[in-house]
Amino acid sequence: METHELALYFDENLFISDMKARNKEESLQELSELIASQRYIRNPGLILDMLHQRETLGSTGIGKGVAIPHGRTVAASDVVIAFGKSEKGIDYNSIDNKPAQLFFMVIAPFHDEKNIYLPILGSLVTFLNQKKNRERISQVTSFDEFISIIRGE
């Protein structure tokens, strides 16, 4: 999947430029509740349970100030990505032991007919491995700025 194709999976209503969360649990709750508030999934508890189980396998804090909590759930009908940014950073038990500032929550259905869940995760990691992309994303204050960067503009 090309990075610019990721733009199709973001929604302005799933964008937070200044997260309120102060710790890992609150960050998961904030983004889960955002997804539920937009009716992508009715019960944020279902997302949280799945994410907690996923975190037992290893932290989704990939380092370099980035966390990509993700997983599959029967509660999702399509792949959705919520984005949040924390100016202060949040201790997320990341692999490099540094705080996470950029959060990309990827939720997918168990039966992903288009088989795009893993390619989306791969494209996100590839995109976020580039320092210039992380720096640009960390400066955004609006969804329009954010999505322009994702599109490669």
Residues labelled catalytic: 70
Angle between helices 44-55 and 24-37 (to 10 degrees): 140
CA gap 6, 121 in Å, rounded: 10
Residue type, 20: K
CA 72 to chain CA centroid, Å, is 13
- Name the helix (H) or strand (E) containing 117: helix 117-128
CA gap 113, 122 in Å, rounded: 18
- Collapsing DSSP to helix, strand or coil, 73 comes out as strand
